[in-house]
Copies of this chain bind each other. A is one copy, B any other.
Amino acid sequence: MERSLVDRIRDFVGAELVGNERFFDGRPEVPVKASHVLRDEGLANWWLPRDYGTLGASLEESVDVVAELAYGDAGFASSSFISILGADILHFFGNRSVAESFLGPMARTGGFCATLVSEQAAGSELGRIQTSFSIKNDHVTLNGQKFLSQNSAYADFLVVAARPTEGGSTVRLVVVPRDTPGIDVIKRWETNGLRGTGLYRVNLTDCKVPAANIIPGNGLRLLEAGLNASRILIAACAIGMSRRIRDISMDYARTKELKGSLLIDNAVFTSKIGQIEMLIDVMANQCKSAAVQFDDLCSAPDPAKALFQGGMLKSALAAKMYCGQAGWEVATIGSQMFGGLGYTEGHLIGKLVRDIRSVALVEGGDDVTRDLLFSRCVLPADNRRRVAAG
Contact = CB atoms under 8 A, between A and B. Distances in A.
A282 B322 contact: yes
Contacts of A314: 277, 281
Contacts of A208: none
Contacts of A185: none
A268 B367 contact: yes
B121 A273 contact: no
A289 to B, nearest CB: 4
A279 B279 CA distance: 13
A373 B343 contact: no
Given A268-B267, A274-B370, A191 B344 contact: yes
A191 B350 CA distance: 9
Contact of A250 (B318, B332, B378): B378
Interface stretch (A43-51, A162-170, A334-342): A334-342
Contacts of A321: 278
Interface string A118-134: 10010111000000000
A343 B193 contact: yes
A274 to B, nearest CB: 3
A218 interface: no
Nearest to A14: B389
Contact of A342 (B121, B266, B361): B361
Interface of A: 118, 121, 123-125, 147-148, 189-193, 246-247, 250, 256-259, 266-268, 270-271, 273-275, 277-279, 281-282, 285-286, 288-290, 314-315, 317-318, 321-322, 328, 332, 335-336, 339-346, 350, 353, 357-358, 360-362, 365-367, 369-375, 377-378, 382, 385
Given A189-B345, A278-B318, 13 more contacts: A125-B259, A192-B344, A193-B343, A250-B382, A271-B367, A271-B370, A273-B373, A274-B378, A275-B366, A281-B314, A339-B361, A340-B361, A342-B361
